[in-house]
Structure 1
Amino acid sequence: MPEQSPLDLPEGDPFGPHNLPYGVFTTAGEPEHRRLGVRIGGHALDLGAAAHALGSPYAALLAQPSLNPLLAAGRTVWQDVRRAITAWVTVPAHRPQIEPLLHPLDSLTVHLPYEVADYVDFYASENHAANVGRMFRPDGEPLTPNWKHLPIGYHGRSGTVVVSGTDVVRPSGQRKTPADAAPVFGPSVKLDIEAEVGFLVGTPSEPGRPVGLGDFRDHVFGLFLLNDWSARDIQAWEYVPLGPFLGKSFATSVSAWVTPLLALEEARVAPPARDVELLPYLDDSAQDEPGGYDLRITVALNGHVIAEPPFATMYWTAAQQLAHMTVNGASLRTGDLFGSGTVSGPEVHQRGSLLELTWNGRDVLDLPEGKRTFLEDGDEVTMTAWAPGPDGTRVGLGEVTGRVRPTR
């Protein structure tokens, strides 16, 4: 009996031809040769080699060691390349050229697939923001007065964005509890996660020219899972009055595969109803396409599911975030990332951070390997997700994993 082709996928495989997320990998035989690829089932296709073998006009573009040249090429090229790759992996006549260029995922090393330009992180979940407000402002309104008028965010550190599988060293810094007479220095004792979705900018924009809501898909190539590791004790002492700094900048983990927005048409949904009138540059009520995405996230701690945050509940959409990020004339660069902020739903099991799940350490998570409020050294956090795809399929969004290592 002939060996089954890697392209003969089981029905419903979330990484079928309807998905085709992009990544960068190396093989054991050529560890210095970074290759641009797409994931198809349990394999990765070497795009540069495939484009060369089939005489693609995009062979030079796809032979690069990074996604950035493809990102910069723009939406028309993204569409053309996706159509070509879909044909390469679905048309039987291409199999003799394509099958030898498929590599099993478990034989590869994956890398950060793009060169990060700038990194911005937002605070777009009303459930998350309200929970934080109830914790730290119990006698006041859960949301700050500006929250429903603009997407709140901060500029992060692009140099510490790391690919899934990279260990995260517990950060040290200053912290001070209300009972302390003075701040102390040492390893964070409230190390946390934030389950987020990141968006990757492809086409740059001109300085001084804002990007409108309707231009979102001309500039944003795709999305990925993101874990914004957070040292809550360091953050609490430093963030007044300018916001997050060292409590966030030590590591941001991202998944190794970027799902193109072109694969997520069936996942588009309307955002939650807004009860505050928005300024025109943020008002998406007349947009032709819904701005939200129905992404189903699962968070596991040491292999045990602790949360299932629903991205469809996010109050601010990625298009609104991009519009706000550029409304002052700030320009986009190829490789810019922006994170959604913690994804949390209305139910306890839908909260996307340990801060919320344990209510700042008040409530203990009882796991098989021991009780948890915040992360212990050796803990491994894994986020996975999927989205609705065409004809009842699922679009797999891969995973982002990181293990906590002791302070150095």
Structure 2
Amino acid sequence: MEAQKKKRRYSEEYIRFGFIVIIKDGTEMPQCVICAKVLSPAAMKPSLLQRHLHGCHQDLKGKDVDYFKRRETMLNRSKLDHSGSFHQSNKAALHASYVVALKIAQQKKPHSTGETLVMPCTKEIVRIMLGEQHAKKLDTVPLSDNTVQRRISDMSTDIKDQVVFEIKTAPLGIFALQLDETTDVRWLSRGNVVKRVFELKDELGLFFSCNDKKVTQVYLAKLNDPKWITGHAYIVDILSRLNILNKSLQGADAVVTDAVDKLKSFQMKLKLWETKVKKGNFEMFEALAERQDISDQLVNLIVDHLASLQSEMKRYFPAVSEGILKLIRDPFHTDVASVNDEIQEEFIDFVNDSSASDLFEKESSLVREVLFLGGPWSGEMTVVVLIVLVLVKDMRRSL
């Protein structure tokens, strides 16, 4: 007499392979939560269950246990008979329910639309076209308010899981990070990139953690370093301030005098920020102020950087003499002694031209427009005076 074979029993750990258990005629049988296929009792072995997962659902082999538990819930919601096989009618009804729920979501309609509009209209159409018997079959399609809501939630979760899985398993080179380009000014664009990296640091950490290449591990180490993130926060803040200044100096209406005023103001702010940082006040730097791990070493680095910015601003934007600024703002009240010798007589004729003076008062915006930012605004007094004289001559010809 053959020895009776020992029956294998289901273990809760098998859910990690995507299998639950059903009982048929008193015998435990494994059922896949993905395709609902019921395997023989002999397949109740980890190696065989894993073979089914890798062979039939290869794209899901990296899923975690929570994913398979969600699929178990979805399977239990499906109407199954005691043997674990789908009734064909229930399978079709379930499919139809998901299709209608998807259409409702795509059209951004209320969840009750399926029950209050779609189902009644569909029944009437089928009743008229095919008869009452066929119309009654539609009663098996679940389209209640709550059901449609669950269907949409299930589909949303499934899509998210698929996307995350594709990112985790794909080579790094397949995906490209799309970065905003909001301006043609290169350093301004770099400022926006730095801000985006800071805002997406958690997502980038997840992205880099999915790849074991050496370079990605370097990036991941930076994103996991609190000190590096805090320093990055300051860079985001200071570049944001510089971006605002840069934008304010651009445009068709930008003029030398306004630019000088804004640059002076920004240099004073740099000095103020330096003083505040020394006292431990970071309220002017939004991202940095939210960090709780600002070390003394970083404070010293920020102070040095702000001082360096002040020096660079003075070097890059040399001071404009008050004489030139006064000449630009009000050429008719400028002392002739401040003008270069070779053009003093012509300048006297200019400032005593009443027609030009009256027109200048009315159309002073034209003078400002000629002296727009972008030209050699830091040149000699002679250049500025000649520009004004040419303008006035043009105005006189228009009288």
TM-score when normalising by structure 1: 0.18
Greater per-residue helix proportion:
2
Q: Which has the higher contact order (CA 8 A, sep 6+)?
A: 1
TM-score when normalising by structure 2: 0.18
